[in-house]
Structure formats: C-alpha cells, structure tokens
Amino acid sequence: MYTPFLFKKFLIVAAVLLIGCAVIHTSARISHAQTLAPTPTSIYPVLTARTFNVGSTVYDVAFSPDGKTVLTGDFDNKAILWDAATGEQLRIFSGHTDSVVSVAFSPDGNCVLTGSKDNSVRLWNTATGTLLNTFAAGAAVVSVTFSPDGKFLWMVNIDAEVRRWERATGNMIHELTIGTTVISAAFSANGEFILTGTDTAATLWDSVTGVKLRTFAVGSPVYGVAFSHDSKYVAAGGFDNTARLWDMATGEPLRTFSGHTNFVDGVAFSPNGKYVLTGGYEGTTILWDAATGAILQTFRGHTDGVFSVAFSPDGKYVLTGSYDNTARLWLVGMDG
C-alpha cells in the first residue's frame, strides 16, 4: 500500500512542529536504518524463507490466490512477478511512467492490476505480461483491487476519488468522492466497504453510495489501513508508532498495538483473523495476537523501513516490502 510520499512528508513535518520535536523525528525517519532499536522477544522462532531483490523501494506486495507466486510494486515504475518457492523472477510488468504503488491479483489469478503515481491503473495478463487495458485514475493512485467475483476493478486516488470499471469492457461504471485527501486506503473482502486513512483518523465508507459510515479517531496521520477478511474488524497504523484495532460495526476501540519505535505503515490481518501484522519504519515487522495484543513474532532482517505487508492465502507465510529495495518472505510459526 502506498502513502503519497510528498504529502506524507508534509504531514510529518506539520505534526512534529506542533509538538516541538521536528528535528528529532525527522532525524529518526532519515536514519532509522542505522538506529534499529531492540524489539520485544518473539514467542515463536522467525525464519526468512526467501529474499526478492527488487532493486528499488517496494511500495506494495501481494500473494497470488494459490500462494505460488508473489507480486511487488516498486519505485522504478514496474511490478514484478516472482516464484514464491524459488525466488525466481518470472515476469516484469513495465509501462507505467511513475512508481507502482498498489498491486493486486484477480480472484482467479489470471490477471494483475497495478496502480501508479502516474495517475493510471493498468490491467495485465499474468501468464504473458500482456497489457490488457489502461484506466485513467485522475490523480496518483493509493489503492487498487478486484471485486470478489473479479468482474470489476476498483481504485482510490489521493484526491479521495473512487472509480470502478468493468473488467470485460473497460467501461467506467461508477465514480464518487469520499472526503478530501486520502493517505492510505483498503477495500473490504466483500467489496462493500472502503477504509481510508487521513491526517487524523481512519474512515469507513459505503463503496457504492460513498456514505460515511464511521470515523475511527487516531489523532495523527494514518499510513496503513486494513479490514479483517470477515469485515468484522478494522485496523490502522501510522505516525504515532502504533496500530489500533476497532470493532467495525460499533466503532468500539478494542486494542492498541505498541512495540514499533517508528511510524507504522503496513497493516494486514491473517486469513483467520486471529493475527495482525504491522510493518514499521525502524525496519521490523511484528505479528500480534489480535485478541490479547501479545507480540508473537518479530521479523528482523530488512535494513530500512518496512512499507507493505501481506499474508499468504493459507496464513503460513508473510510477505514484506521495504525501502531497502527488497521484499522478504517469512515463515509464520503458527496456523494463520
């Protein structure tokens, strides 16, 4: 998931000036790779299964529906398909003219969707790498996805515009505006809801009507948002070095996950909803027990901030993308 870089920098500077710590926090962000702080002890062992040498900042990562391949979107305007078992680079999807900041597989795995800062969304054939269609996004893309049946393509841009296209024809069939500027965004698995992150909160929207359903107060910029797969819970992480968990239906705050020593960007739920995964700018990824808030595993190995995180479909592996120009595949020590 992508957080618009220039906008994020603006928000960070504004926020730290308000609390009188601009120099300290700016320094922390620039040099966090050299100042990795100790993280809490993991309950389960950590094993790096694979490292994918992307070559530039990895903005987003995704697993194919069968878990056999992974997809990365990067600063160098491309998406790359990798063999999850061997680490072999299978295909490069090139054609965007700016960074690829959001990637997704179709439910059948036959197509790949990429969203870019070049104000476009592109649909590709997974097997051949053929470009199937290009869609005008109107502004830099924040998040893209497929509808659950794979028939439609969804996009949210930084101007809070939502667009939906029909996959078969390429026709735009729906457009609406939700709020103002969006920093981060996610779609629910059932396609009914959109969760956006702004400079102070996470907000839940109806994906069809654009009606605001609920606001989850945070009080600082929200860089990463996620839905549980059953759409019962939402999570958000951001500037205050924490991630938070809420009941989606009631808005009740359930838990705050504190353990990162820098901003939290990547957030994801395990397929069974028992675990929450967060990636921080200090370079670590943490697996949390959603019910208790306990730290179960701390994944260390990236040499720069972790930007994006994802679970494999079976929940046995996690994928992380980083500013250190790599993505890493990790083994999870319990059933996800």
Residue that is written with structure tokens 């094993």 in the block: 47
Tell me the whole-structure pTM to 2 decimals.
0.86
Reading the block at residue 157, the tokens are 């841009």
Domains in the chain, CATH or no CATH each: 5-331 (2.130.10.10)
Look up residue 269 and give its DSSP letter: E
Reading the block at residue 46, the tokens are 């950590």
Contact between 232 and 247 under an 8 Å Cβ cutoff? The reply is yes
Angle at 164 between CA 162 and CA 170, to 5 degrees: 140
Tell me the one-letter amino acid at 42: S
Reading the block at residue 28, the tokens are 């922390």
3-state secondary structure 86-105: CCCEEEEEECCCCCEEEEEE
Contact between 185 and 197 under an 8 Å Cβ cutoff? The reply is yes
The reported pLDDT for the residue numbered 310 is: 98
Angle at 226 between CA 155 and CA 93, to 5 degrees: 45
Angle at 185 between CA 182 and CA 188, to 5 degrees: 145
**Could you give the CA distance from residue 275 to residue 15 in angstroms, rounded to a whole number?**
30
Sign of CA dihedral 43, 49, 53, 54: negative
Residue that is written with structure tokens 């102070």 in the block: 200
Partner residues linked to 309 by β-bridges = 320
The reported pLDDT for the residue numbered 179 is: 87
**Could you give the CA distance from residue 267 to residue 235 in angstroms, rounded to a whole number?**
7
**Could you give the CA distance from residue 240 to residue 24 in angstroms, rounded to a whole number?**
14
The reported pLDDT for the residue numbered 39 is: 41
Contact between 191 and 153 under an 8 Å Cβ cutoff? The reply is no
Burial 177-204 (b: 16+ CB within 10 A, else e): ebeebbbbbbbbbebebbbbbbbbbbbb
Query: Could you tell me which residues come within 8 angstroms of residue 230 by beta carbon, excluding any fewer than 6 positions away?
Result: 189, 273
The reported pLDDT for the residue numbered 144 is: 98
pLDDT digits (tens), the chain, 336 positions: 555 444 443 344 344 333 333 322 322 322 222 223 334 444 445 556 799 999 999 999 999 999 999 999 999 999 999 999 999 999 999 999 999 999 999 999 999 999 999 999 999 999 999 999 999 999 999 999 999 999 999 999 999 999 999 999 999 999 999 988 999 999 999 999 999 999 999 999 999 999 999 999 999 999 999 999 999 999 999 999 999 999 999 999 999 999 999 999 999 999 999 999 999 999 999 999 999 999 999 999 999 999 999 999 999 999 999 999 999 999 997 665
Phi, psi dihedrals of residue 144, rounded to the nearest 5°: -130, 155
The CA-atom distances, in angstroms, between 89 and each of 80, 166, 289, 330 are 7, 30, 33, 18
Contact between 97 and 114 under an 8 Å Cβ cutoff? The reply is no
